Amino acid sequence: MVDMSVSIGKLTLQNPVMPGSGTFAEGMAKVIDLNRLGAIVTKTITSDLREGNTPPRVAELRNSTLFSIGIPSKGPEHYLEELVPFYRNYTPPLVASISANTVEEFGELAARLSVPGVAAIEANISCPNLKKDGQAFGMDPQATEAVIKAMKRNTDLQVWAKLSPNVGSIAVIARAAEQGGADALVSSNAILAMAIDIESHQPKVANLMGGITGSATKPILLRMAYQAAQAVSIPVIGCGGIATAEDAIEYLLAGCTAVQVGTANFISTSAMPRVIDDLQAYCVRRGITRIRDLIGAMKVHEAKLLEARAGL
Amino acid sequence: MTNSVPIPLQPAPSTAASSCGGHCADFTIAENLCQVLSNEWVNAEYKHLVLKAPPIALAVLPGQFFHLNCPPSGNDVPYLRRPMSLYRVSPQDCTIEFLYKVQGAGTRGLATLEPGATLDAFGPVGQGFTLPPQARHVLVLARGVGLATMAPLAQHAVQRGARVTAILSARSPALVMSEQYLRSVGADVIVVHDQDGSSDIAHIEKLVRERHAQLPFDLLTTCGSNRFLLALQRLGQELDVPAQVALEQLMGCALGMCFACVRPFRKSPGSETMSYRRVCWDGPVFDAQETVTW
């Protein structure tokens, strides 16, 4: 029997597998048993109602996709009246993802969503900061820290910071989020990318740029999750190109406490249950009794001087 | 639309195949592992795929679709699934069928499937056609591959006791598909084509008015093109008959999760207020008067 549970602060998850924000919705309950998941993370909402970006919003790339959805949002009222009651029918902790135009709005929305049935709030800080010329909060350590602080002041729930990979040093942003009081980091959101149709000469998504997601992005985002985990002492939840248990194990070994499965949910609704089953099978095969023993268990190659080899 | 009811083709299956800890009855969508029975060319561009399918797939309703895990072929490696509307379901034979034009990475992969192969068909998904209760006369207007989307509706409307007038449009008479199939399920089929100009939209509208004068339509349906959508909007208003259109769109998930397949719609018929709706989850069948051209 393998102990599959992991802990994010005082929150214990029955297993380390949850959906990435924006890759999961109520419809999944018609296909899989949601009670098998470690947690449920919902699509980002904002205080205001938003329609999202102009279509086309998706292009297919090699082993990846380019998504430019924007943040279509039905607002907090819909979230509290429809989604929270819906997910209360299921046992996994509910994580609400939020975004906002200003630091203050992040705080206000966190307060609004602090209701029974919500276990944690994930800050999607990959969105533009309207008070800083639209630069994303997550690209700026001061803004990152300010957002998390504002949320922590306004809620007793856990606050997770979902980092943007579109930065020079993710360690700097990771430390800023920790400094702000984040209970965990999610590393990370999608990598900014673009694609052009050579027949129409138009960008493949109407917004010109979007986020590349899917299997092809895993080596880059695994590296960033590792760097984030190295930089902080709070738990890091790995996210980026995870489709199989093997992918998830890499993230755990790199220092992640849990993982989010994203685009793989679009390709196969059984991706998350399969990752959970196969993680367990891996542990059994390797004689691992507690999955948390895999967290950060990567063994680095010993640095051997070339000269020292002469003596071998 | 408020007087309408969803169309049950057959009762939903009472249990799912997989073990699901008492939640089985909730699972109405699945990754159905289907066996290819045949996959033949019907003309130079189209193939007809017949699959042996498990019970959840057989509960598909007219206008619903499946999201197919298309195999790689040559240099094509489809990453996302491909939406495909149902052409025919036969619960007795445990089969679902698709009619598709071989034109992209996904359908080129589908075209390689040989009998005996396995295809993962996710579904059934989407909101299908809504037949008014006691419907007596239904119009089905389709061109090319659009016919596939409409065939299950025609079959079901006939089974429910309605007369179905199907206007099939094509470039040439030789490219009109499934005329025989629609006749065999009991539809009155009118073939129009470009060679003799009978597919001209004014002519089609005239045909609809004539048929309506003989026996008033309760529902007008079409799919695919702007031209047919506009025609049904005009006819629907003029004749005061509800009109529904089945749409296609590139999709990410087909389960209402990713919001990639949205298109603009009016909040209500005639409204200037627009909003995006998901073709996969809110559709693919929509009220034609709320749908806008693209």
- At A35-94, the pLDDT tens digits run 999 999 999 999 999 999 999 999 999 999 999 999 999 999 999 999 999 999 999 999
Confidence tier at B12 by pLDDT (50, 70, 90):
very low
Please report the number of interchain residue pairs, chain A to chain B, with beta-carbon separation below 8 angstroms. Answer: 103
What is the per-residue pLDDT for B171?
A: 87
**Cβ-based neighbours of A224, under 8 Å, separated by 6 or more:** A163, A165, A170, A187, A188, A240
Q: ipTM for the complex?
A: 0.94
The average confidence (pLDDT) of chain A is 96
In whole angstroms, give the CA distance from residue B151 to residue B167: 12
Residue B80 has its nearest CB partner, among A22, A35, A65, at A65
Confidence tier at B224 by pLDDT (50, 70, 90):
confident
**Cβ-based neighbours of A87, under 8 Å, separated by 6 or more:** A34, A40, A42, A94, A117
Q: How far is CA B239 from CA B159, B286, B289, in A?
A: 25, 19, 13
- With beta carbons under 8 A apart, name residues in chain A contacting B27: 30-32
Q: What is the pLDDT of residues A197-250, one digit of tens each?
A: 999 999 999 999 999 999 999 999 999 999 999 999 999 999 999 999 999 999
- With beta carbons under 8 A apart, name residues in chain A contacting B253: 23, 265-266
- With beta carbons under 8 A apart, name residues in chain A contacting B29: 27, 30-31, 269
In whole angstroms, give the CA distance from residue A114 to residue A102: 19
Whether the pLDDT of residue B293 is over 80: the answer is yes
CB of A210 closer than 8 Å to CB of A194: yes
A64 and chain B in contact, CB less than 8 A = yes
B259 and chain A in contact, CB less than 8 A = yes
Do the Cβ atoms of B255 and A28 come within 8 Å? yes
Tokens of B63: 């206008």
Top CATH class, A6-311? alpha beta
- With beta carbons under 8 A apart, name residues in chain A contacting B80: 58, 60, 65, 266-267
A91 and chain B in contact, CB less than 8 A = no
Q: What is the pLDDT of residues B108-136, one digit of tens each?
A: 999 999 999 999 999 999 999 999 999 99
**Given the DSSP bridges, would you call strands A94-98 and A40-41 parallel, antiparallel or unpaired?**
parallel
Sign of torsion over alpha carbons B278, B281, B284, B290: negative
What is the per-residue pLDDT for A132?
A: 74
In whole angstroms, give the CA distance from residue B246 to residue B219: 13
User: Identity (one letter) of the amino acid at B234?
Assistant: R
What is the per-residue pLDDT for B149?
A: 85
Is position A239 annotated as part of the catalytic site? Answer: no
B5-16+25-125 belongs to which homologous superfamily? Translation factors (2.40.30.10)
- Burial code (b: 16+ CB inside 10 Å, e: under 16) for A9-47 equals eebebbbbbbbbbbbbbbbbbebbbbebbbbbbbbbbbb
Do B130-246 and B5-16+25-125 have the same topology in CATH?
no
B260 and chain A in contact, CB less than 8 A = yes
What is the per-residue pLDDT for A306?
A: 76
What is the per-residue pLDDT for B241?
A: 98
Q: Which chain A residue lies closest to B261 (C-alpha atoms)?
A: A57
Confidence tier at B174 by pLDDT (50, 70, 90):
confident
What is the per-residue pLDDT for A29?
A: 97
Q: Which of A123-127, A278-282, B19-23 has the highest mean pLDDT?
A: A278-282
- With beta carbons under 8 A apart, name residues in chain A contacting B79: 60-65, 214-215, 267
C-alpha distance from B136 to closest chain A C-alpha (Å) = 34
More confidently predicted of B172 and A164: A164
What is the per-residue pLDDT for B5?
A: 45
In whole angstroms, give the CA distance from residue B145 to residue B102: 11
Helix (H, G, I), strand (E, B) or coil at A192: strand
Whether the pLDDT of residue B7 is over 70: the answer is no
Any idea which of A164-178, A227-241, B144-158, B197-211 has the lowest mean pLDDT? B144-158
User: Identity (one letter) of the amino acid at B62?
Assistant: P
For B40, counting Cβ atoms within 10 Å of its Cβ (0-12 exposed, 13-18 middle, 19+ buried), the class is: exposed
Please name which of B73, B55, B72 lies closest in space to residue B11, comparing C-alpha atoms.
B55
Domain extent listing, chain B: 5-16+25-125, 130-246
In whole angstroms, give the CA distance from residue A258 to residue A235: 8
What is the per-residue pLDDT for B195?
A: 92
Share of chain B above pLDDT 70, in %: 91
The residue behind tokens 């499937």 is B113
What pTM value is reported for the model? 0.93
CATH no., domain B130-246: 3.40.50.80
Domain extent listing, chain A: 6-311
Alpha helices, DSSP H, located in B119-184? 146-159, 179-184
A29 and chain B in contact, CB less than 8 A = yes
B280 and chain A in contact, CB less than 8 A = no
